[in-house]
Amino acid sequence: MTARLLIVGPQGSGKGTQGVRIAEQFGIPAVSTGDMFRAAVAGGSELGTQVKALIEAGNLVPDELTSAVVRDRLAQADAAAGFLLDGYPRNLGQVADLDAFLTGRDEQLDAVIELSVPRAESIARLSLRAAEQGRTDDTEEAIANRLAIYERETAPILGVYAERGIVDEIDGVGTLDEITDRIVAALEARGLARAAAV
């Protein structure tokens, strides 16, 4: 049984936290572009230096760079039976890149989890995270910029996946456990089975 999943939601929707929890439930790796890029920044590589400048300005990493990093990650052995993507694809160009990659492996996404959270809630959560974690990329201006980019570029990908009938819209407001339970129930309703050890 495979589970090839994508979790989508505005910054501050909790998709990173839920992505890790859902990946554990289904026994698949969580593949977060944000985590991969932050690791590159922390490592001080050439990629990390490029990424740091982009992120601190509230901008996104270019498609070709992002797609290359994701393709490399999905080609690793632990992603053979499935994966949960977080932060990719984030626009229509990346949807085409991912489709081409998966089609080449005779695969497709099984489900897209859309975490629905009001904009005011996203901003409040991000502001709190910035204060708690000292995240320099979570200034009010950068947050507003990233939410605008999400609404302009990422929201349209949901239309593409909705046409394929694979989007589950999940209410992203509630306790962590309530939201996880909603997601698991939606995926199980699609016939996706949780890992036996859970």
pLDDT at 131: 84
129 belongs to the catalytic site: yes
Q: Where are the domains of the chain?
A: 3-32+73-189
> Catalytic one among 38, 71, 129, 194?
129
pLDDT at 47 over 70: yes
State the chain's mean pLDDT as an integer. 90
Q: What are 77-126's pLDDT values in tens digits?
A: 999 999 999 989 989 999 999 999 999 999 999 999 999 999 888 888 88
135 belongs to the catalytic site: yes
Higher pLDDT, 88 or 141: 88
Task: Give CA angle at 183 (122, 198), nearest 5°.
Answer: 125
pTM given for the model: 0.86
CA distances from 193 to 127, 135, 178, 179 (A): 36, 36, 19, 18
Please state, as a whole number, how many other Cβ atoms lie within 10 Å of the Cβ of residue 32: 22
> Catalytic one among 4, 15, 52, 125?
15
C-alpha 158 chain-centroid distance: 13
Topology, domain 3-32+73-189: Rossmann fold (3.40.50)
Q: Where are the beta strands (DSSP E) in 106-149?
A: 111-116
Please state, as a whole number, how many other Cβ atoms lie within 10 Å of the Cβ of residue 68: 13
Contact status, residue 55 vs residue 37, Cβ threshold 8 Å: yes
Q: What are 124-135's pLDDT values in tens digits?
A: 888 888 888 887
> Catalytic one among 21, 73, 90, 125?
90
